[in-house]
Structure 1
Amino acid sequence: MENVLAVVPARGGSKGVKDKNIYLINGKALLCYAVETGLKCPHVTETYISTDSGLYEEIAKSCGAESVGLRSPELASDSAKTADALIDLVTRLQSLGKNFDYVVLLQPTSPVRRPEDISNMLNILRSRPDASGIVSVSRLIEPHPYKLKKITPEGFLNSFIDGTSSEIPRQQMPPAFKLNGAIYIVRTEFMLQNRKLLDNRTLPYEMEEGVNIDSAADLEYLHYLVSTGKINL
């Protein structure tokens, strides 16, 4: 039977919105919503917190996550990659005799997701042995990449993507997608060998637009969506 590790990454040193990972929505920290999504998915074997904050670790453990201890300061810096923090956690778990076939990344700041999404994504990935992983995406309506511009060294306005035109009717533009931050799933072996989460063999899993919290305005928008019943966390 395959083992699936869910990881909730929560660095304590957020500069954009202080302590956004433990911001309360309906009295519950965003970090706990992520942990509970992992715990509620029947395909997930274990759910762990990865953090450099003792406070965050205790909050995560209080809502059901497990921990192998805090990240090193190097893995909590602004330049540290999420993949490196995940590799550190996986390596520490392996030293304890715990091995996993897949790693599921659940970011607290992208809370609009369901346990069923994880299950669906795992089933898709299992059916595609040629794929390295699968990631949640949302359709990008505006601005479409064809409409983006750049300024040349001579000062002229050109298409950002060569060969495209913003004058093409929107209906004729090819669908464009963006990572929505909700769920990343990667084969553990691929991640350890390549030290990254995504490559050109990553599959997409389309979801409705959610909220990716980078600013106070994003938090206000999330409050609005929850209070009006437009989303349920």
Structure 2
Amino acid sequence: MFAGKTILALITARGGSKGLPGKNIRPLLGKPLIAWTIEQALDCPYLDRVVVSTDDREIAETARGFGAEVPFLRPPELATDEAKSIDVVLHALDYFAQQNDEYDYLVLLQPTSPLRRKEDIGRALELLIRNAARADSLVSVGEISHGHPAMVQKIDDEGLLQPFLGQRITALRRQDLSPAYVPYGVVFISKVDKLKLLKTFYQEKTLPYVIQRWQHYEIDDIYDFTVTEAILKQRLEGNHEFSG
């Protein structure tokens, strides 16, 4: 609880993964991938409950072993490649509502984004709740360092490069462009009533939580996994370049 508000943390982790099979329980520096996110959540004093939503019994057993709650198994239709993340979130909220267990805020944490600083979850909650009069949700974002939208190209039907956004650029320097941001799975937060109504974390009144450059990785394949593992190793060894 923070500022009198009840807060549910939900970690979503399905069993199927085509890019990296079994990734949610794949060992990452000696611990299952999902364990990093569970421990980060349990370390935040503001969270009333830390719950994992999964369809997979092995993931459920692993999650419980690291201290998370797994009060239900997600139905198969919410564990396919086509299933939407928001439907998984709403399923969990509906489950708790049926138990007469309501929350003011929901924090969505993706186990494929383990590069969180110890303070990230708490700081993000403080930022949103202290600004509750002007914002209803929060999304973690990182500034684009490569591939700015203004520079993105597409290949047309004749095999020629064309500006993706429709405006051709000429000798444009990255330093001359306005900052652009991409969302990452470090933390998503929303007021529960707004989440149920709008069915998205990207609402009209959404705050950004800007993360560091070294946090710009989400594990979808072996390349992401390898980079993330190297960064975590550097942080554990106290490399100051990864301590910001």
TMscore range, shorter length: over 0.9
> In the TM superposition, what is the alpha-carbon distance from 1:223 to its structure 2 partner?
2.2
**CA root-mean-square deviation:** 1.8
Kindly indicate whether residue 9 of structure 2 is the aligned counterpart of residue 3 of structure 1.
no
Could you list the per-position Cα deviations for residues 5-56 of structure 1 after superposition, in whole angstroms to 9, with x for gaps in the alignment?
Answer: 0111000011110111111122211111111111111111110010000111
* Structure 1 runs (4+) greater than 6 angstroms displaced: none
Kindly indicate whether residue 198 of structure 2 is the aligned counterpart of residue 198 of structure 1.
no
TM-score, normalised with respect to structure 1: 0.92
Alignment of 1:99-110 (within 5 A): 99-110=102-113
> In the TM superposition, what is the alpha-carbon distance from 1:153 to its structure 2 partner?
5.0
1:91 & 1:125 partners in 2: Cα distance?
A: 23
SS at structure 1 position matched to 2:179: coil
> In the TM superposition, what is the alpha-carbon distance from 1:132 to its structure 2 partner?
2.6
CA contact (8 A) 2:115 2:232 kept: no
2:65 & 2:175 partners in 1: Cα distance?
A: 49
Alignment of 1:75-94 (within 5 A): 75-94=78-97
> In the TM superposition, what is the alpha-carbon distance from 1:115 to its structure 2 partner?
4.2
CA contact (8 A) 1:148 1:166 kept: no
Read off the aligned partner of 2:190 and give its amino acid letter.
V
Could you list the per-position Cα deviations for residues 63-108 of structure 1 after superposition, in whole angstroms to 9, with x for gaps in the alignment?
Answer: 1111221000111111111111111111111211211111111111
> Which of 215, 221, 231 is residue 227 of structure 2 equivalent to?
221
> In the TM superposition, what is the alpha-carbon distance from 1:154 to its structure 2 partner?
6.0
Match of 2:180 in 1: 176
Read off the aligned partner of 1:185 and give its amino acid letter.
I
TM-score, normalised with respect to structure 2: 0.88
Identify unmatched segments of 5+ residues in structure 1.
Answer: none
Identify unmatched segments of 5+ residues in structure 2.
Answer: none
Kindly indicate whether residue 52 of structure 2 is the aligned counterpart of residue 46 of structure 1.
no
Read off the aligned partner of 2:11 and give its amino acid letter.
V
1:114 & 1:131 partners in 2: Cα distance?
A: 23
2:83 & 2:96 partners in 1: Cα distance?
A: 20
Count of residues paired in the alignment: 232
Alignment of 1:96-135 (within 5 A): 96-126=99-129, 127-135=131-139
Read off the aligned partner of 1:16 and give its amino acid letter.
G
2:205 & 2:226 partners in 1: Cα distance?
A: 36
How many percent of aligned residue pairs carry the same amino acid?
Answer: 34
> In the TM superposition, what is the alpha-carbon distance from 1:166 to its structure 2 partner?
5.2
